[in-house]
Amino acid sequence: MVVYPEIFPTNIRNVGIGLASMSARIGGLFAPFTRTVYRYLPWVPGSVFGTFCVVVTLLVRFLPETNNQELPQTIEEMKQWLRKQRETPGKNNIPENDT
């Protein structure tokens, strides 16, 4: 489970939480209009929400692995951490199941 405040370094965490909250509010703002759009174009609401689900699924793949790792506290630490993860692709700290 990804808890979005943990994704951001400490010194920009409030900005990240604000952007995530704003995105949620914009989605909540447009949600009631889906019923009106459905009356005229029944395929649009499902297509829009389905497209957003696919886009988010693809974007999540770009998030860094945080399992068993100390999270960065500054932007500079975040840059170093991302550089280190790029240098060792495919390596993660998830213990393998020995069954």
What type of residue is 41? L
- Residue 25 is predicted with a pLDDT of 94
Reply yes or no on whether the pLDDT at 92 is more than 60.
no
Angle value at C-alpha 96, between 69 and 60, nearest 5 degrees: 55
Long-range contacts at 84-89 (CB < 8 A, ≥ 24 apart): none
Residue-wise pLDDT for 26-82, tens only, equals: 989 988 998 999 999 999 999 998 999 999 899 888 877 777 777 777 888 888 877
Nearest to 80 by CA among 71, 92, 91, 89: 71
- Residue 22 is predicted with a pLDDT of 92
Reply yes or no on whether the pLDDT at 95 is more than 80.
no
Look up the pTM and report it.
0.56
- Residue 94 is predicted with a pLDDT of 46
Contact of 37 with 45, CB cutoff 8 Å: yes
List the structure tokens of 72. Answer: 């960065």
Number of residues that make up the chain? 99
